[in-house]
Amino acid sequence: MSNEKQYPMTAEGKKKLEDELVKLETETRKEIVERIKIARDFGDLSENAEYDSAKEEQAFLEGRISTLKSMIRNAVIISEDETDNSVVSLGKTVTFVEIIDGKPSTDKESYTIVGSAEADPMEFRISNESPIAKGLLGKAEGEEVAVQTPGGEMKVKIISIK
């Protein structure tokens, strides 16, 4: 029985990781090997910055490939049940407002809660391991929730779950 970390993600998120892995293993790996070959031709490897840079990039690439393989192997696909919007869960988009001085703000925020492998704050996709998601998971529409963030406690009211 493996004790490897499981990675909750949507089927779409797993497909993106698989696509990235294929690209890294086919195209990117070949490009780096070619750069190493060219850099070797420059001569003395002990003072060859191009060679050192290409080897560092190769090490980073191999680490990323290993990480992706582990994430794909240990993926747990989130069931995206479109009908049950009663509580916040992985795969759901939550809209909430911050409660300031006991009154709900007019500024709504919406985030889709996903596994860490798919998190992308610029796309409003937050990890289920983030402080905000941890505070919202399992809560229902209309609930007021205290969320612990690195900047302190934040109170929010859940407006909708989709």
Quote the pTM value.
0.68
Angstrom distance (rounded) from CA 140 to CA 99: 16
Q: What is the mean pLDDT of residues 129-152?
A: 89
What φ, ψ does residue 96 adopt, rounded to 5°? -145, 165
Instruction: Give the model's pLDDT for residue 76.
Output: 86
CA atoms in the 13 A half-sphere facing the CB of 86: 1
In the predicted model, what is the mean pLDDT of residues 36-45? 80
Residue 34 has pLDDT above 90, yes or no: yes
Question: Is the pLDDT reported for residue 1 higher than 50?
Answer: no
* Neighbour tally for 7: CB within 10 Å: 20
